[in-house]
Amino acid sequence: MDLQAPGRSLPSAKPALGSKTYEVDDFAAAQELYHANGWTDGLPIVPPTQAAVEACLDWGLMPPDQLVAIEPVREQPITAEKLAVNAVMAGCLPMHFPVVVTAWQAMMQPEFLLHGVTSSTGGCAVLVIINGPIRTEIGANAAFNALGNSDRATAVIGRALRLALINLLDVRPGGIDRSTLGHPGKFSYCLAEDEEGTGWQPLSIVRGIPEGASAVTVMAAMAPRQVMNEWTTDPREILETFAAEMRANQLNYSIYGGNYVIVIPKQLREHIERAGWSKRDIAEFLYERARVRRADWAEVGKQSIVRDRASRIHPALTSPDDLLVVAAGGPAGGFGAVIAPWMGSKTRAVTAAIGVCVDCEPPKTREPRP
């Protein structure tokens, strides 16, 4: 069995693969080779044979040496071949590869602040949200267990990003990755929006991607915080539960405002939609309700930093545009989730179209429609 090395190499001028090749006797030997070299996330990998890597590149219509992006701090080039190797290792099929590539292009935008996101002690992970027709093409499940092991596509796409971070940018625990705790999303953190199960606009359209185009949104995100409210049908009361969790994050983690994601499954979503509330209405409500006084920090053991600013108000969202509302989750249960940002507005969520040129510009964060 001949395997391709997942780590860094100079781009090749030839169409052939430029990665170093290793010969191993069998599947078990491949696992030990990759674990011994620190090329995995601790879980078994799919051996990245030449045929499997080339299949991903062919599906993406990309030559091996195509430059996908350049990491802005260390100026490290990221080539299609190396992303394909790590995607195969994660378990990706060729049809998953365009999502991986686009997510990487989005992560490399300056406003995402990839180096800070991946080296901080704060322990965030890269959350990927998939929109558009590609969700159904790859079999991404937006219903049951949407933030867990819901399907093959979201599991392997999220994992591919982490493996590539490890092998291409040396984002290893104790090395560049200085996370004190981290969270399980650092194995894989990817979900699809339930566009068919809601009358709301998909997140990608809200963020400026044309209707009908597939897209990914990436965000430096903390672990999901589950909430529940089964005792009301009033949108304000339902959303007040989400606001309370956002305020709790401000008190217990970071007071500073930035992008938040809220995931609203069908049972709660139907009450909110039936009352005529749009995603914009939700964002404006939570912008007003999810905020704390600096004095409130004294109640959670942080009196020393209140000082003479006790009356200052800190909103969780710097504007309603900061909120990413995602329709996803199983059909029953009055549950939802709040996903908080890493370090407020130091990093911004980025949305990018998959496989199309939108205004012929690099992927970037786009202003939501009114």
pLDDT of residue 9: 55
The identity of residue 273, as a single letter, is E
How many structural domains are present in the chain? Answer: 1
pLDDT averaged per 10 residues, the chain (length 370):
69 68 95 97 97 97 96 92 98 98 97 96 97 98 96 98 97 95 97 98 98 98 98 98 98 95 98 98 98 95 92 96 98 97 94 74 46
Has residue 187 been placed in a domain?
yes
Has residue 232 been placed in a domain?
yes
Has residue 362 been placed in a domain?
no
Nearest to 96 by CA among 15, 151, 34: 151
- Letter string b/e over residues 273-285, b meaning 16 or more CB atoms within 10 A of that residue's CB: beeebebbbbbbb
**Backbone dihedral angles phi then psi of residue 113, each to the nearest 5 degrees:** 60, 60
Tokens for 18? Answer: 């430029």
Nearest to 116 by CA among 160, 52, 37, 169: 169
Question: In whole angstroms, what is the distance from residue 158 CA to residue 2 CA?
Answer: 25
Has residue 314 been placed in a domain?
yes
- The DSSP call for residue 11 is P
| Residue pLDDT, tens place only, 271-302 | 999 999 999 999 999 999 999 999 999 999 99
pLDDT of residue 15: 59
Has residue 46 been placed in a domain?
yes
Question: In whole angstroms, what is the distance from residue 213 CA to residue 143 CA?
Answer: 21
Has residue 5 been placed in a domain?
no
Please check whether residue 105 is in contact with residue 363, taking contact to mean a CB–CB distance below 8 angstroms: yes
Strand partners, 262: 325, 338
| Residue pLDDT, tens place only, 240-273 | 999 999 999 999 999 999 999 999 999 999 999 9
pLDDT of residue 12: 43
Has residue 358 been placed in a domain?
no
Has residue 3 been placed in a domain?
no
> Whole domain around residue 86: which residue ranges?
27-353
